[in-house]
Amino acid sequence: PRVSQCSTVLSGTPTTSAIMFSAGVLGNVVALVLLKIRRKNQSASLFQVLVTALIITDLVGTFSVSPLVITAYSRNQSMIGLSGNDSNNTICSHFGFAMTFFSLVTLALLLSMALERWFSIGLPYFYERHINTRCGYVAIILIYLVCTLFCVTPFFGFGRYVQYCPGTWCFIDMNSDELGHKVYKNIYASCLLAMIVCTVLCNASVIYHLLLMYRRRKANRSSFRRPKGSKRSLSLTKEVEHLVLLGFMTIAFLICSLPLVIHVYISSSRDTKYPAMDLTALLLLSMNPIIDPWVFIILSPPVPRLLWGVICHAPRSQHSHDKLGMTRPQPTNNKDHCILSESFQTSPPIELQT
């Protein structure tokens, strides 16, 4: 059941929380180091700015909540117990604010990355003329500002942060029947769902445009370039790499956040509560800052290039029949099968720019 006033931890050990904290910190630090190495002396692209903001956000989010969970287990005190005689339960409120804030910011940054790819591929003229790294910094500031304003409203009575079993979690009250709290949790879930849908639609549109580019490349057997007057030529390989990275990050967030969204809607539409789902949904949500950097580490160049090169240059053969009816292998040219492989061979091995 949901815990509201318990001052001790009901069950569990700090081992899982410590492992999650270590994995999150290590992954985000390694991802930041890789970003720094790949940039070298070059100025950051807009996509890099957004990726860096996402990784830093995940790192700060990990430091905001995980040490509190480990402390609660080590002292056998819940979030309310750690607050002591504070009637406002400051630590629990901080924990709930951090969980809500960083989940919104993470998905908003993923949506910004998807929009950046969509503008770059779908509206290249507009992108070249109007969108630059300054737009990225402005977008990051606006995202942080809007999410902060939304997440502080429970401190003023609209919405509420409460403690959940076993006493090491605080989050939005997902089981309240009070109108204000019920509206707040549904707004939160609707914001997550709207951003998820927009991100998926943007990625689907980018995939469609990339397929068109691939067909042109296959037909012309030459590199597709941006219209005359563009600042840089369009590398199909880099666009695919960015899309793969963004796509897997989006899938990770879907897995981590969609159960929470569904749980909020179910608890709002039915009188029956599902307290066992509270902890599961919150645990999945807390996994996203840990998964994101490892997705970046695994899927960012040169790993996709290496995998694609292995696939495209694997030996292939066709079988033909001789006069005696026996089959014999005949070598074939892989160039028709993997047009993109040339790009992976010629692209810089450690560059993550558009």
How far apart (Å, rounded) are the C-alpha atoms in residues 187 and 262?
A: 13
Q: Is residue 8 part of a domain?
A: no
pLDDT tens column, 151-170: 999 999 898 898 887 788 88
For residue 349, is it within any domain? no
**From CA 183, how far away is CA 160, in angstroms rounded?**
11
The CATH number of residue 203's host domain is: 1.20.1070.10
Report the pLDDT value the prediction gives residue 87, as an integer from 0 to 100. 66
Number of folded domains in the chain? Answer: 1
Q: What is the mean pLDDT of the chain?
A: 77
Tell me if 332 is assigned to some domain.
no
Prior bond of 302 cis (ω within 30°): yes
Residue 278 sits in which domain range? 14-219+232-310
Quick check: 120 and 61 in contact, CB under 8 A? no
Task: Please check whether residue 227 lies inside any domain of the structure.
Answer: no
Choose the most confident range, by mean pLDDT, from 216-225, 249-258, 302-311: 249-258
> Is 121 a member of any domain?
yes
Which tens digit of pLDDT belongs to each residue from 101-149? Answer: 999 999 999 999 999 989 988 888 888 888 889 999 999 999 999 999 9
> In angstroms, how far apart are the furthest CA atoms of the chain?
94
pTM attached to this predicted model = 0.78
Query: Rounded CA gap, 3 and 320, in Å?
Result: 72
Whether residue 338 lies inside any domain: the answer is no
Average pLDDT over residues 50-66: 92
pLDDT tens digits for range 176-190: 778 888 899 999 999
Residue 201 in domain? yes
Radius of gyration of the chain (CA): 24
